[in-house]
Amino acid sequence: MHPFDQAIALQSLGGGLFQGHTSERYWNFVSPFGGFTAAVLLNAMLRSPERIGDPLTLTVNYAAPIQEGAFAVAAQPLRSTRTTQHWAAQLTQADDPQPLATAVSVFAVRRTTWNLTEATPPDVGRPDDSEQYLPFPNLRWPTMYDMRYVRGELAAENSDSLTYSWIRDAQPRGLDYASLTAICDAFFPRIFLRRAHLVPIGTVSLNIYFHADDTTMSEQGTDAVLAVARANVFSQGYFDQEGQVWGRNRQLLATTHQVVWYKE
């Protein structure tokens, strides 16, 4: 079993309730890597027997640090039609009834239509042309990925926050909605591209729009995806990030946005 699948594994307790456990491998400084938390919340929906279609949108709000250990995920379909399904999920721990993270999601059955990709991926070399990047020697979760930055330098006053990076699971694993979700939170916090020193940060809200069906996701296989990300604004303790995740054959797999808390 791949380490990512081990990490996001959930035991179904029935009635939309699941039990999981934090993973040492996907641990961040004081709580799990936010991409792990988002993938776990989506996984509860993906594993629910009522599920219709595939993920179209996912919003995860991070309310408080998750502690090391067991957690519960409650996932509930709020309304379903023949082709769409609206979900809400919450992650709680121990005796605290208030959620530490919440998610809402729309699932949808995709169909054949007139299609057009307006955005274009940047013209960059292959992943092998660049070196693997490990930002913090003591931080575990980045070692779970093979990340290669081809634009943007960490902890430097770059003239903009735009980065291009290749990313895949360090131990190869076929791409799916859960792993793409985690990857959408795996880019550098944008403030590290505009300031020379590292500052405390934390993702407050993560939004993902999935643009590929299950077949397209499968075709990606274990290849690295190309991530494009940048910030619009850093203001009064919060900055944003806009990102695109490109797959093989110039397929736009996901667009993703987040708001991040920062301290000077």
Which position among 21, 170, 207, 219 is part of the footprint of a second copy (CB under 8 A)?
A: 207
**Number of chain residues interacting with a second copy (CB under 8 A):** 61
Query: Two tokens at 191?
Result: 């403030």
Residue 79 is a binding residue for a second copy (CB under 8 A): yes
- Count of CA atoms in the C-beta half-sphere (13 A) of 26: 30
Which position among 6, 11, 117, 222 is part of the footprint of a second copy (CB under 8 A)?
A: 117
Residues 44-73 that bind a second copy (CB under 8 A): 56-57, 59, 61, 63-64
Which position among 102, 130, 132, 143 is part of the footprint of a second copy (CB under 8 A)?
A: 102
Measured distance CA(188)–CA(135) in Å, rounded: 9
Edge-first strand listing for the sheet containing 163-169: 11-14, 17-21, 70-80, 84-93, 96-108, 54-62, 201-210, 252-262, 238-246, 225-230, 163-169, 145-151
Residue 81 is a binding residue for a second copy (CB under 8 A): yes
Write the CB contacts of 145 (distance below 8 Å, at least 6 apart in sequence): 167, 168, 169, 170, 183, 186
Point out which residues bind a second copy (CB under 8 A): 56-57, 59, 61, 63-64, 78-79, 81, 84, 86, 88, 90, 98-100, 102, 104, 106, 108, 110-119, 160-161, 194-195, 204-205, 207, 209, 211-213, 230-238, 240, 242, 244, 252, 255, 257, 259, 261-264
